[in-house]
């Protein structure tokens, strides 16, 4: 007769290592884990757990002390202020970089960054959480970017369009916004760029997110998929897979991946391409995981805000430029020559219609460094003299991991 299952979940050993069949676990001494064959007796395991409890108490006390210091450093001294007035992305980036520099393991760098991000998020939200707008509905990759950059102690505001994300931040109804700007496989998301032509907002940060696309739906086989709904970027990033496995299925672009998942929930024969989170939110089964055509598929997001930032020590600057006649020979070379003269690296350039007249263009340019850095400042001063349109969209910390 099989033994009766006990109620509740089995607890993992504190070290995260699998417990052997004897119920013993490796012993950690002053110099680390004892030899491969060393295991803890029942008495030693109890002692290890007591040590863990003691460390937890210290961590708890230190976390509360950090929260008190955060209050003294900002919000509690300014009763008329708001959380956004004391949030400093450049300072946060410095804290995360220092955490990585001193990390000896065994925690991975990604976990260390995530933990410190959540600690800072919780400390900042003591008075009121930051309000961050993103392209909704719930379950989009942009929502994942919100939590990756700001932590979970924020109020995430799902909006139906990128234009409304800009508008809510411009109006002050949201403290920040996050919008996708480019994908490593499919390139620039042009409607985001075009919105900067008429928006006063600045770029306050960037987020890089590894993108895994899943095919999801309520059907139990690929043969039952009649149409696939997703954002046009997601459809493009999975074009090869769809051509091979669902060549007859209709491809329907929608406003967001989450909107595609919602349609897959409500429509017979409809599947969606989205992230795992969307499958959980909309109650869908994952038919095939990781269907993106490129294994290194990633999307870069920009953080929108109303203020320019001070240097963090590892920054990027985004410029919006144009010249009087973009069709004249050598015009772009003459405009950008100061970057080479002052040794400034340009990492990205995009052209978009200026909307002033036909076949006239503006240029979005990313350069390394902060606008207040000595060399960058000189280059920008020379650029400004040559440009008919010159605007620093933002100098902001480069993404930490």
Predicted confidence (pLDDT) per residue in 191-229, tens digit: 899 999 999 999 999 999 999 999 999 999 999 999 999
The answer to whether 297 touches 184, Cβ cutoff 8 Å, is yes
pLDDT at 17: 36
Q: What is the pTM of this model?
A: 0.81
* Residue 137 pLDDT greater than 60, yes or no: yes
Q: Structure tokens of 73? A: 């450093």
pLDDT 10s digits, 33-58: 444 446 677 778 888 999 999 999 99
DSSP 18: P
Q: Does the pLDDT at position 2 exceed 70?
A: no
Contact assessment for residue 115 and residue 237, using Cβ atoms and an 8 Å cutoff: no
Predicted local distance difference test score (pLDDT) of residue 36: 45
* Paired tokens of 198: 């008429």
Do strands 155-159 and 285-288 pair parallel, antiparallel, or not at all (unpaired)?
Answer: unpaired
What does the pLDDT read at residue 3? 40
Report residue 91 as tokens.
Answer: 């300072």
């Amino acid at each position: 007769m099989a033994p009766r299952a006990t109620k509740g979940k089995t607890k993992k050993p504190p070290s995260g290592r699998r417990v052997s069949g004897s119920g013993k676990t490796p012993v950690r001494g002053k110099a680390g884990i004892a030899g491969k064959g060393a295991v803890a007796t029942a008495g030693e395991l109890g002692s290890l757990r007591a040590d863990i409890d003691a460390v937890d108490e210290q961590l708890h006390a230190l976390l509360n002390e950090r929260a008190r210091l955060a209050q003294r450093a900002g919000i509690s001294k300014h009763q008329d202020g708001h959380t956004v007035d004391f949030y400093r992305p450049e300072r946060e980036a410095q804290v995360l970089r220092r955490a990585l520099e001193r990390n000896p393991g065994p925690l991975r760098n990604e976990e260390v960054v995530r933990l410190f991000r959540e600690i800072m998020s919780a400390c900042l939200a003591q008075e009121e959480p930051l309000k961050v707008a993103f392209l909704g509905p719930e379950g989009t990759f942009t929502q994942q970017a919100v939590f990756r950059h700001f932590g979970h102690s924020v109020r995430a505001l799902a909006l139906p369009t990128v234009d409304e994300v800009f508008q809510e931040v411009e109006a002050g109804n949201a403290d920040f916004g996050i919008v996708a700007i480019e994908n490593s496989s499919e390139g620039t998301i042009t409607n985001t760029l075009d919105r900067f032509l008429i928006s006063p907002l600045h770029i306050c940060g960037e987020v890089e997110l590894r993108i895994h696309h899943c095919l999801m739906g309520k059907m139990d086989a690929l043969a039952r998929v009649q149409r696939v709904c997703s954002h046009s970027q997601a459809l493009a990033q999975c074009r090869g897979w769809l051509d091979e496995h669902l060549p007859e299925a209709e491809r329907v672009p929608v406003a967001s991946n989450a909107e595609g998942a919602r349609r897959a929930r409500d429509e017979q024969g409809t599947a969606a391409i989205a992230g795992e989170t969307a499958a959980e939110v909309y109650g869908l089964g994952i038919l095939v995981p990781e269907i993106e055509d490129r294994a290194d598929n990633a999307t870069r997001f920009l953080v929108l805000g109303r203020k320019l930032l001070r240097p963090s020590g590892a920054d990027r600057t985004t410029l919006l430029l144009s010249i009087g006649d973009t069709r004249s020979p050598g015009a772009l070379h003459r405009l950008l020559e100061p970057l080479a003269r002052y040794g400034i690296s340009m990492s990205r350039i995009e052209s978009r219609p200026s909307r002033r007249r036909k076949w006239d263009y503006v240029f979005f340019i990313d350069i390394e460094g902060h606008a207040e850095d000595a060399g960058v400042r000189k280059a920008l001063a020379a650029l400004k003299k040559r440009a008919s349109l010159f605007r620093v969209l933002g100098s902001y910390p480069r993404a930490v991991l």
